[in-house]
Structure formats: structure tokens, C-alpha cells
Amino acid sequence: MKTTPFSMNAPARAFFITGTDTEIGKTFTTCALLQRWQQDGLRCVGYKPVAAGATLVDGQWVNEDAAQLLAASSPGFSLADINPLCLQAPMAPHLAARREGHRIDTDALLAGFESLRRRADVVLVEGVGGFIVPLDDETDTAEFARRLGLPVILVVGLRLGCINHALLTVEAIAHRGLKLAGWIANTVDPHMTGLTDNIATLEARIAAPRLGTLPRLDMTNATRAALLLTEPVMTAVLNSPQSS
């Protein structure tokens, strides 16, 4: 079933993408979601408001995750649109910002999101690390997600300990008053004992739909991963009322 592009006068559908930890495939999954909804003819863009860890490319500091999001997004967006704050050090953003003399201006990051929302049908905002990561001495990524007011899609990294991490994150999302729109099981450890049993346990305890289960794939296979996301559920999530 194809999804009709939204009116240019209507705000884009948007979701906050978070994960049970760092290095569990948030960016890979976000790229798969972007490509999946582009297959329905929608103009989609990823937004990485803060990224920590970058390399110098042609005189510009570039975060690998942000570059991947740019490549997976619809044409017409720049790296600066997608990642307005790129910190060099691969560490918690509040520590990297302090080291590099930056102040993380959440108002400016929210404005960047609103700008993208006027130019796309779907905007996916990818967080940093897990759900609660400090941005400064007073604000964290969970508070930023609350200010966005978007439904959340949770990426669960399938490895030992994922049940505890997932259920704690689900509780934290609810505690901030946010709607969990769905979750995606991403296979971090393909040799995990009881992998299917872990998925079944999570399905029984998370009151939100599983959008799909992704096998262990590298970033070049995001298009293949997009095909593994469950069509009826994806359409239902996209067309469900937004919480903002």
C-alpha cells in the first residue's frame, strides 16, 4: 500500500529515534526507515542535531553517522541542515562541548528541526547514544525529546542484556510523557543465545508494535533492511496521530 505525500501546508510527520545504548544500530535503522518511506514517494530527511566524533574531510569536520543520514535522505539537503552541531571528540556531547568550548543551544537545534519539517514529508530525529545523555549541566537528550514532543521509535540492540535495557528505556520514555510509536529489533550479536525468545519476551512486555527485526548487516545494506520493515505496521505508525 502506497502512502500519499502530505500537503505542503501540513507539518511533516516526525519521529524521535532513540536506542537502548550506543553502537546498537540507530543510524543504520534510521537510514532504513528513511529509505522505506521514500519508497512510498515521500520526501524524507534525517536530523542529527548533535553528533560527537568527527574526522576532517576537505577542511570540514564530518561525523560519519550524519554523513550516512545525508546519503539516505531525499535530495536537496546539506550536511549543515542535517547536523548543525558536530563535535570532534568521540565522547558524551556535554564533555566534548566543554572540551571544545561550545555551548549546546537547544533552542537553535529545535529551530533546525522546524526548518526541516517545512521542507519534507517525514523527519527522523536521531538522538545520541541511549535515551538519557547529558547535553549540558541541566539538559539531556530525553528533555530535548520532550521539547520536540514527537512519538519515539526505539531501536533495541539484540545482545545479552537487551531486555533490561529495552524495558528501562520504555519506562524512561513514558516518564517523560512521550508516546512510544514502535520499536525495531536490530541484531547486534547474531550468535546471541535465545535470540527469538528475547524478541518474544520484549513483544509481550512492550505495549507498542514491533516494526521489524533486522539481521546483522553493514551500513551498505540499509536498502535491504528497509525491505524487512513490516509494511502494514509501518503504514499504521506513519499515519497515526502525532503527539506534538
211-237 pLDDT, tens digit each: 999 988 876 667 777 777 877 788 888
Q: Where are the alpha helices (DSSP H) in 118-161?
A: 141-148
Q: Which segment of 29-38, 51-60, 218-227 scores lowest on mean pLDDT?
A: 218-227
Q: How far apart are CA 145 and CA 154, in angstroms?
A: 12
Q: Residue 206: pLDDT band by 50, 70, 90 thresholds?
A: very high
Active-site option among 2, 26, 48, 179: 48
Q: How far apart are CA 128 and CA 144, in angstroms?
A: 11
Task: Please tell me the predicted confidence (pLDDT) of residue 10.
Answer: 61
Q: Residue 7: pLDDT band by 50, 70, 90 thresholds?
A: very low
* Mean pLDDT, residues 67-73 taken together: 96
Q: Residue 8: pLDDT band by 50, 70, 90 thresholds?
A: very low
Task: Please tell me the predicted confidence (pLDDT) of residue 149.
Answer: 96
Q: Where are the alpha helices (DSSP H) in the chain?
A: 26-38, 64-72, 79-82, 93-100, 106-117, 141-148, 162-175, 195-205, 222-226, 231-239
Burial of 18 (0-12, 13-18, 19+ CB in 10 A): buried
The H or E element that residue 153 is part of is strand 152-158
The letter for the amino acid at 165 is H
The CA-CA-CA angle for residues 59, 110, 105, to 5°, reads 60
pTM listed for this prediction? 0.91
At residue 227, φ and ψ (nearest 5 deg) are -70, -15
Please count the helices (runs of H) and the strands (runs of E) in the chain: 10, 10
Q: Which segment of 6-15, 54-63, 109-118, 212-221 scores lowest on mean pLDDT?
A: 6-15
User: Is residue 48 annotated as part of the catalytic site, yes or no?
Assistant: yes
Q: Alpha-carbon dihedral of residues 39, 46, 77, 231, nearest 10 degrees?
A: 10
Q: Residue 244: pLDDT band by 50, 70, 90 thresholds?
A: very low
* Res. 3: pLDDT tops 60: no
CA distances from 33 to 6, 29, 99, 142, 191 (A): 17, 6, 34, 21, 25
Q: How far apart are CA 85 and CA 105, in angstroms?
A: 9
Task: Please tell me the predicted confidence (pLDDT) of residue 6.
Answer: 46
* Mean pLDDT, residues 27-50 taken together: 94
Task: Please tell me the predicted confidence (pLDDT) of residue 231.
Answer: 73
Nearest one of 91, 123, 95 to 109, comparing CA atoms = 123
